[in-house]
Amino acid sequence: MKIFVCIKQVPGVSEVKIDPETNTLVREGIPSIINPMDKNGIELALELKEKYGAETIGISMGPPQAEEALREALAMGLDETYLLTDRAFAGADTLATSHTLSLAIKKLLENYGERDNYLVICGTQAIDGDTAQVGPEVAEELGIPQITYVQKFEIRDDKVIVERAFRGEEVVIIETKLPVLVSVLRDLNEPRYPTLDGIVDSYEKEVKYLNHEDIEAVKKNIGLVGSQTEVWRIFVPKRKGEHIILEGSIEERVSELCQKLKEDKLI
Amino acid sequence: MSIIIDTEECTGCGACVDNCPFGGMEIKDNVACITGECTLCGACVDVCPVEVITIEKEEFKIPKMDLSKFKGVMVIGEQFRNEIQSVVYQLLGKGRDLADKLGVDVSVVLLGSELDDKLKELGEYGADEVIYVKSPILKDYYSDLYVNTLTEIIQERKPEIVLIGATPTGRDFAPRLSKRLYAGCTADCTGLDIEEDSGNLLQTRPTFGGNIMATIRTPTSRPQMSTVRPGIFEPIENIKKKPKITIIEKKLDEEDSVTKILKIIDKEKIAINLEEAEVIVSGGRGVGNKENFKIIEDLAEALGGEVGGSRVTVELEWIEQDRQVGQTGKTVSPKLYIACGISGAIQHLVGMETSDIIVAINKDPNAPIFDVAHYGIVDDLHKVVPALTEEIKKRKSKN
């Protein structure tokens, strides 16, 4: 079995702050990390490898500095990693991104001489873009079923049995067969930390680079040109509010607040 | 296809660096240059005071198809256990607004098995046509059956806009559907409008954890698909409209799906419905510990509202997950939102800033929550909140 894990390098956005003077993002000192849910994906791949035996392959599309994320994935234990990096990939929306990733997976399957015995794992969504679209789009292009929001995964004989978290009200247990794409949630497992040996070993492995020619991509289908959506405008959200700060003793302020809420017909 | 900088004329002022949301610009040897982070969003083009930055995307601007063949707004009407979900009414409200600007019709597509008696009332919420695909198996959600069925309908009807609720269901089938149709799809939109002249749909969504907003267009292809965050738009009621009803009986069974539902396990029914609450009293780190949440609960009870909390309070297990407000929790817009001991990280603000009236109680006068608050009390919440609860009880007993 071949297990592909899609990995995205993202800025640790929970630490992103807005500079109130310039109203722009302060980016200095914000570390780049592996998207948290993708780490759950790596952990799942490693657990399946330990249980059933498999080759685990990490792939990422991004600028050359995303090599760092793939190095970490190797240190966690993945067997191989590929970085799809090319100026022609830049500005891609989810359609163009999923096309690029799908071509790479198809190419690698061809190289391995593998047809159906494979699994693709993605994090449900990335913390920067938050679209949750790339996984299902890759599944569509590969022509395989998808199961999103996965919180439990197992293989029984030739069956794949998956628990999908659904609306907080129910859990759906779904059965399907390989090949399949699953997008996973953080509840799925506890991602391991790279061990010292893992880190040492990872330096003997290579992050392999692929450009658009390597995956036989046609330029009109990738990057900004291959995208159907375009960013028209980017802005920092304006915050509303009248900002009336109440003054006086606690009793006075509480009383004034109640008066105002009463005027607004809220109490 | 790239950003071009006229390095002869560039003054190296750095305005582009300051305004790039992605860190895609830097100044090297006194001129601007592009880094690997560039997403070609074009923010630098607009801010360059000497106009030396241009973005070349002519090739991209050429329509890839005849856009005029696509007409109308289509809402996908999600149902769960034969109940039409509230986001559908919200989408109809917004869809009606967009359709009126374009001078076109709104249709709503339902997939299910026992919805016959719920079709007509959709007219009151703005639908001109109700398309009901009926099959016993469609009472449950099957990813591939939804995609197959909706592909047929969209290819036949050719709507210019398709709106889908950004629920776990919508976000499962929408991207796959968009890929099959090779249509642009924008995820989790919180703002929708029509661009004058072109008639393009302007889709605004929070990104980078809500730190920045991006407005997305799909200028060269149709349909334009959006998944829309629940709880953002208002339904319009009592429109006197008798919708055209089209029922499509479909022969589908389990064999038609590549997946099989083995079991559906009900979780304990959750009574908490933060999105629909009119009053929410939320606590943050400032509450201090789980026991102290009692004063938040008391205030909520006095106001007949629900208790909410910031992410940290959920992580510390002071309150349940379903009460989390913010980017990774619920998006709420009650009539009254009282934030107690919440500093107001951007991830929290995006989940509650559309509330009608926001009250902030916090010790720190510089807490960002005060920027969105209508009324603020700078003091210790442990003193203010119980006093407020008492005052409200007192006023209520007088009435």
ipTM: 0.89
Do A24 and B37 count as a contact with CB atoms less than 8 A apart?
no
Verify that B47 and B124 share a domain, yes or no. Answer: no
Place of tokens 């100044």: B27
Q: What is the mean pLDDT of chain B?
A: 90
CB-nearest to B259 from A132, A147, A255 is A147
B263, part of any domain: no
**B274 with B323: CB under 8 angstroms?**
yes
Contacts of residue B176, Cβ cutoff 8 Å, sequence gap at least 6: A136, A137, A139, A140, A146, B143, B147
**B331 with B229: CB under 8 angstroms?**
yes
Helix (H, G, I), strand (E, B) or coil at A252: helix
pLDDT band at A159 (very low <50, low <70, confident <90, very high): very high
Residue ranges with strand state E in A167-235: 170-177, 180-184, 207-210, 230-235
Q: How many domains does chain B have?
A: 3
Q: How many domains does chain A have?
A: 1
The yes-or-no verdict on residue A239 having pLDDT over 60 is no
pLDDT band at B3 (very low <50, low <70, confident <90, very high): confident
* Burial B189-205, CB ≥16 within 10 A → b, else e: bbbbebeeeebbbbbbb
| CATH code, domain carrying B33 | 3.30.70.20
Verify that B125 and B46 share a domain, yes or no. Answer: no
Verify that B57 and B74 share a domain, yes or no. Answer: no
DSSP structure class, residue A191 = P
Q: Which of A32, A87, A185, A231 to mutate to test the interface with B (most CBs of B within 10 A)?
A: A231
| CATH code, domain carrying A62 | 3.40.50.620
Phi, psi of B353 (to 5 degrees): -70, -10
**B161 with B74: CB under 8 angstroms?**
yes
B222, part of any domain: yes
Do B168 and A229 count as a contact with CB atoms less than 8 A apart?
no
Interatomic CA distance for residues B380 and B289, integer angstroms: 15
**A133 with A122: CB under 8 angstroms?**
no
Verify that B369 and B234 share a domain, yes or no. Answer: no
The yes-or-no verdict on residue A161 having pLDDT over 80 is yes
CB-nearest to B187 from A133, A172, A253 is A133
A66, part of any domain: yes
| CATH code, domain carrying B206 | 3.40.50.620
CA angle, B44 then B49 then B55, to 5°: 35
**A203 with A56: CB under 8 angstroms?**
no
Measured between CA atoms, how close is A149 to chain B, in angstroms?
A: 8
DSSP A2-67: EEEEE--EEE-GGG-EEETTTTEEE-TTPPEEE-HHHHHHHHHHHHHHHHH--EEEEEEES-GGGH
Q: Which residue of B has its CA nearest to A242?
A: B374
Q: pTM value? A: 0.80
A131, part of any domain: yes
Which chain B residues have a beta carbon less than 8 Å from that of A16? 208-209, 211, 346
Could you give the C-alpha distances from B186 to A231, A234, B105, B141, in angstroms and in order?
Answer: 10, 14, 22, 22
Do B264 and A170 count as a contact with CB atoms less than 8 A apart?
yes
Verify that B103 and B50 share a domain, yes or no. Answer: no
Interatomic CA distance for residues B360 and B215, integer angstroms: 30
Q: Helices A250-263 and B381-398: crossing angle, nearest 10°?
A: 50
DSSP structure class, residue A236 = P
Burial class of residue A203, CB neighbours in 10 A (0-12, 13-18, 19+): exposed
Verify that B14 and B143 share a domain, yes or no. Answer: no
A33: domain range? 2-221
pLDDT band at B234 (very low <50, low <70, confident <90, very high): confident
Instruction: Please tell me if residue A169 touches chain B, with a CB cutoff of 8 Å.
Output: yes
B39: domain range? 2-61
Q: How far apart are the first and last CA of chain A?
A: 63
Instruction: Please tell me if residue A156 touches chain B, with a CB cutoff of 8 Å.
Output: no
- Per-residue pLDDT of A254-263, as tens digits, reads 999 999 888 8
Q: How far apart are the first and last CA of chain B?
A: 68
- Tell me what percent of the residues of chain B surpass a pLDDT of 90: 61
Measured between CA atoms, how close is A110 to chain B, in angstroms?
A: 23
Instruction: Please tell me if residue A127 touches chain B, with a CB cutoff of 8 Å.
Output: yes
- Per-residue pLDDT of B191-217, as tens digits, reads 999 999 899 999 999 887 777 889 999
